Amino acid sequence: MVTRIGIVGDPHGVIPNVRFTDVDFMMCPGDFCSDELKQYMFQAMRINLENRDKGITKKVFWWDLLGKHEARSKILESVAKGRAVLEHLNSFGVPVYVLPGNWDFIPDKEKAKHWRFWETDFYYKNIRGLDNIIDCDMKVRDAGNYVIVGYGKVSSPEYPQDQDLIAKETSKELAKSKSHYLRTRRRVNSLFDKAKKIGKPVIFFHHNVPYGTNIDKIVNPNSPMNGRHFGSVVAREMIDKHQPVLSEAGHMHEHYDKVEIGKTICVDSGFGPNANVLVTLQRYKVKDVEFNRKGYSSQH
């Protein structure tokens, strides 16, 4: 039996032009809210990298550059745009499987130590009350002929992979990153074990693309990480180990494309209002991947 999946790329606060509507279900890997604050985040990242070279360990947060009052106002504007996107996707009358992206303002314990505003879970506030929107973060979801393993939030390697970046971290920071990486890997692996017991082909659904491929290299001169591979290490390891029929992710704006890792077809669904992909599956095989190229742009 053939299954048709309509995939919407990261919307970033803009109502998507959904071109594939004759589908069994839809998927969107997150970043529903706008990314208008990116310039401040990049600025803070550069300052922190430069400070590390100078031996300064005190961290600068992006909201320090704006002031908390203005930062809060801009976050709430971004969240409202994300809700409008989700309401639009909800209106198509088919299940829409979603994940939180790095722009969906999820709770962050570390950030909350410096600003309690980060205790709020805006992602779950935004999906609440939308009957067709189905959260997949760290969950196993039955999707008819397939089972979905979901892993959201991730936006970078769970543990630094470049030696120069590792050298900038303290031993305490590296130990913390290693602990997070190992804990996350165990959790996602257990989801695959649970999914396999259901006995259906598995779709792996994650926010960031797998590490070390043609679709995870940053090609953006405005980014402090320009030129680096910056995909998810956990996602790559799970694909290598479990070989799901399909891997679907977004996050990387530069690469609206697909790659193969063993028997797994990995799709990067891109970003923006015209980022639409139609995937046709038949049991353990991807029959076709159609990228909408009309009006698509990878500009940041």
Residue 147 lies in a domain: yes
Strands 25-28 and 2-8: parallel
Q: What is the DSSP string of 212-228?
A: SSTTSB---TTSTTTTS
Give the residue from 29, 203, 6, 4 showing the smallest Cα distance to 99.
29
Residue 299 lies in a domain: no
Residue 54's beta-bridge partner residues?
none
Give the up-direction half-sphere exposure of residue 15: CA atoms within 13 A in the CB hemisphere. 5
CATH number at residue 284: 3.60.21.10
Output phi, psi for 274, to 5 deg: -105, 10
Residue 67 lies in a domain: yes
Of 78-87, 159-168, 210-219, 284-293, least confident by mean pLDDT is: 159-168
Residue 264 lies in a domain: yes
Residue 298 lies in a domain: no
Spatial separation of the C-alpha atoms in residues 155 and 230, rounded to whole Å: 8
Using one digit for the tens of pLDDT, what is the confidence trace for 93-113? 999 999 999 999 999 998 999
Question: Which domain range does residue 186 map to?
Answer: 2-291
Residue 297 lies in a domain: no
H or E stretch including 64? helix 62-66
Asked if residues 279 and 5 have their Cβ atoms less than 8 Å apart, the reply is: yes
Using one digit for the tens of pLDDT, what is the confidence trace for 242-289? 999 999 999 988 889 999 999 999 999 999 999 999 999 998 999 999
Spatial separation of the C-alpha atoms in residues 195 and 72, rounded to whole Å: 39
Using one digit for the tens of pLDDT, what is the confidence trace for 125-137? 999 999 999 999 9
**Domains contained in the chain, number:** 1
Q: Is the pTM of this model over 0.75?
A: yes
